[in-house]
Amino acid sequence: MNPLVQPDIGLYIWTIIVFLGLLVAFNHLAWKPLKATLQAREDSIRKSLDDARQAREELQRLRAESAQMMAAARAEADMILSRTRDDANRFRDEMKEKAQADAAAIVKNAEQRIAMETGRALQQIRTEAVEFSVAIASKILQRNVSKEDNERLIEETFRQIQSTRPS
């Protein structure tokens, strides 16, 4: 038989000793640093997950704040729009009232001017009627009637006309 293939107790012992020596060396040189590296990696991943969770919570909080701010901004915009509409309506009403007041003042002024012009026209008609009547009376009487006589005749004539009018 081949001596390499035969079981030898010394070979078994040396194999076990070498194996245990390599196991101790591997544990000391490779396993502990590998385990520390894996632990650091696990801690780093755990910290990243915690940071991501905190960022997600912060994002949700910011979204809620943003929604509240948008709602407040919309409410304020609606209030401003409502105030602007009220101001526009009030301004329109004021302008309408001012225009009506101006129109009323113009109408009143026109009525006063019409009354004044009517009075002036009536006075002129009376004066011309008196002059015409004096001229006719002078021709009829063949003499000149004085201004005082003329005014007295006019006053008497007006009194007679007013007394004959039904009240």
Tell me how far CA of residue 160 lies from CA of 87, 154, 167, in angstroms.
Answer: 64, 10, 14
Q: What is the pLDDT along the chain (167 residues), one digit of tens a residue?
A: 676 677 778 888 998 999 999 999 998 888 888 899 999 999 999 999 999 999 999 999 999 999 999 999 999 999 999 999 999 999 999 999 999 999 999 999 999 999 999 888 888 887 777 776 766 666 666 556 677 777 777 777 777 777 766 65
- What is the per-residue pLDDT for 129? 73
- What is the per-residue pLDDT for 73? 95
- What is the per-residue pLDDT for 55? 96
- What is the per-residue pLDDT for 6? 75
- What is the per-residue pLDDT for 165? 61
- What is the per-residue pLDDT for 9? 85
Tell me how far CA of residue 28 lies from CA of 2, 15, 75, in angstroms.
Answer: 38, 20, 69
Q: Up-side HSE of residue 94: CA atoms within 13 Å toward CB?
A: 6
Residue spans per domain, the chain = 28-164
Q: How far apart are CA 126 and CA 32, in angstroms?
A: 137
- What is the per-residue pLDDT for 1? 60
- What is the per-residue pLDDT for 53? 96
- What is the per-residue pLDDT for 152? 79
In the block, residue with structure tokens 């304020």 = 76
- What is the per-residue pLDDT for 87? 94
